[in-house]
Amino acid sequence: MSEGSKGSSLAFGQVVIGPPGSGKTTYCHGMQEFMGRIGRKVTVVNLDPANETMPYQCAVDIAELITLPDVMENLKLGPNGGLIYCMEYLEANFDWLQEKLAAFRGHYYLFDCPGQVELYTHHDALKNVFAQLAKWNFRLAAVHLVDSHYCTDPGKFISVLCTSLSTMLHVELPHVNILSKMDLIEQYGKLAFNLDYYTEVLDLSYLVDHLASDPFFRNYRRLNEKLVEVIEDYSLVSFVPLNVQDKESMRQVMQAVDKANGYSFGDQEQRSLEALMSAAVGADFHFTSTLAVQEKYVQSQDKAVEEEVMDL
Whole-number pLDDT of residue 284 = 45
Provide the pLDDT confidence category of residue 215 given band limits of 50, 70 and 90. confident
At 257, is the secondary structure helix, strand, or coil? helix
Mean predicted confidence (pLDDT) in 294-303: 52
Tell me what pLDDT residue 312 has: 55
Do 277 and 250 touch, CB atoms closer than 8 A? no
pLDDT per residue over 43-101, tens digit each? Answer: 999 999 998 889 999 999 999 999 999 999 999 999 999 999 999 999 999 999 999 99
Q: Is the dihedral of CA 260, 265, 270, 276 positive or negative?
A: negative
Cα separation, 68 vs 80, whole angstroms: 10
Backbone angles phi, psi at 142, to 5 degrees: -85, 125
Residue 309 has pLDDT above 80, yes or no: no
pLDDT in tens, 133-187: 999 999 999 999 999 988 888 889 999 999 999 999 999 999 999 999 988 887 7
Q: Global pTM?
A: 0.84
Q: What is the pLDDT of residues 125-142, one digit of tens each?
A: 999 999 999 999 999 999
Q: What pLDDT, on the 0 to 100 scale, is given for residue 6?
A: 43
The domains found in the chain, sorted by start residue, are 11-201+237-284 (3.40.50.300)
**pLDDT at position 213, please?**
83
Question: What element of type H or E holds 289?
Answer: none
**Mean pLDDT rounded to a whole number for the chain:** 87
Q: What pLDDT sits at residue 179? A: 94
Range 138-177 burial, b when 16+ CB lie within 10 A, else e:
bbbbbbbbbbbbbbbebbebbebbbbbbebbebbebbbbb
Query: What sign for the dihedral angle of Cα 29, 177, 118, 12?
Result: positive
Asked if residue 247 lies in contact with residue 218, where contact means CB atoms within 8 angstroms, the answer is: no
